[in-house]
Structure 1
């Protein structure tokens, strides 16, 4: 039986959501996935249907979303459905929803210098199969400064500041570019690259993301038979 993925795209047009969504579709179809492609968030309203998926891929910079839809995604991922995305399409989405930020592992706050900054992406965990054999590489794009979850498993980083600005007096920092995290029984993958589709449609960036999508989806089988109730607490009702 073919694995099933839902890709939903929209939001700020500057991030080329339709082009990025179709790029994801091509990656996943090449791996044998059955794809549902939507240009609306209405597809997140059916929580039961989401729990039957192997993977959810959001491509929505900024925008607004119903609280219930984020809860539906959260419950699906907690039960094993993978969640994976890139750039602003996942970690600059739905800025007013803290559950989304908690689940995805980070939130964009700035890109000093705007588009066209040249910087290096450095592999931080070369033993991980998600980046094994992929060397450090340079990109010319937005360099994302993110507020990130300390629980993330960081796969790649970039060094700030590449561009002098108000943050520069704090000194150099290693900012995560790609990471994984767990959410209940499920897997979450994020990669900060992808300001335009042509940043991630080739080379090591594309390969990192291809592996991340597959890794997140593979969590469905791992979660089979697991008991999500083990994560219940009085303040969080499953």
Structure 2
């Protein structure tokens, strides 16, 4: 008898600027190559289907600045508590459902801001106003974790996420937001950029880099996310 396929659920939507369709489509071949039967949903209603959710091995979500019904959120959290994995990147996981404190506790981090470039650089009210050069630093004590093993500190030119988080996260990489003459904070702020979180019998993986398909094509970002999906999976 052939082995049963693993199941991956891809849930996408929300703000179009994060290219939820194109971004998730770029991971579908990877999931298929690793033996996953993939279901793609453009809404969160599937989370309330307890029977189906019990069969899912990993949930890959990119759904930015959206809302979620209480029964859908309960279904998502219950699935992870019972062993499903949860994985995602950028605002698609760390800025998904601002109306839910339960989701914030579950994921372990909430987007707060991404600092702008200097005003003298002619800000145009576009996403690129917040594209800055910054470094993602691998936490030395976690450098042997399978998600980041063999990856050194790397530089990006994209949004740098300031996230509000807690100490329950297992942080694999950080990024430090500097002090500038044109922002209000007075000392550098170091935020998690890649973290994992254990929830019930399940695993959660979050990477804050991943604004669009261009960032997702960066070799370091891509490797971290692909490994994170596999790590989180049941």
Q: Could you tell me the TM-score, scaled by structure 1's length?
A: 0.87
Cross-structure match for 2:199 = 183
Shift in Å at residue 202 of structure 1?
3.5
Mapped contact 2:48–2:74 kept (Cα < 8 A): no
User: In structure 2, which of residues 208, 212, 222 is the aligned counterpart of residue 192 of structure 1?
Assistant: 208
Mapped contact 2:134–2:156 kept (Cα < 8 A): yes
User: In structure 2, which of residues 90, 95, 109 is the aligned counterpart of residue 92 of structure 1?
Assistant: 95
Cross-structure match for 2:27 = 24
Pairing 1:154–2:176 present:
no
Pairing 1:120–2:135 present:
yes
Shift in Å at residue 19 of structure 1?
0.9
Cross-structure match for 1:234 = none
Mapped contact 1:161–1:167 kept (Cα < 8 A): no
Shift in Å at residue 32 of structure 1?
1.6
* 1: CA distance, partners of 2:94 / 2:80: 16
Pairing 1:209–2:212 present:
no
Q: Could you tell me the TM-score, scaled by structure 2's length?
A: 0.89
* 2: CA distance, partners of 1:179 / 1:27: 21
* 2: CA distance, partners of 1:101 / 1:55: 19
* 2: CA distance, partners of 1:162 / 1:25: 39
Shift in Å at residue 31 of structure 1?
1.3
* 1: CA distance, partners of 2:144 / 2:6: 27
Shift in Å at residue 159 of structure 1?
1.1
* 2: CA distance, partners of 1:11 / 1:34: 24
User: In structure 2, which of residues 108, 124, 138 is the aligned counterpart of residue 105 of structure 1?
Assistant: 108
SS of 2:191 mapped into structure 1: strand
Q: Deviations over 1:68-115 (max 9, x none)?
A: 101001000001000000000011001011111111111001001143
Shift in Å at residue 166 of structure 1?
3.6
SS of 2:8 mapped into structure 1: strand
What CA RMSD, in Å, does the superposition of the two structures yield over aligned residues?
Answer: 1.3
Alignment map for 1:53-92 (pairs within 5 Å): 53-92=56-95
Q: Gaps (5+ residues) in structure 1?
A: 221-238
Runs of 4+ more than 3 Å apart: 162-167
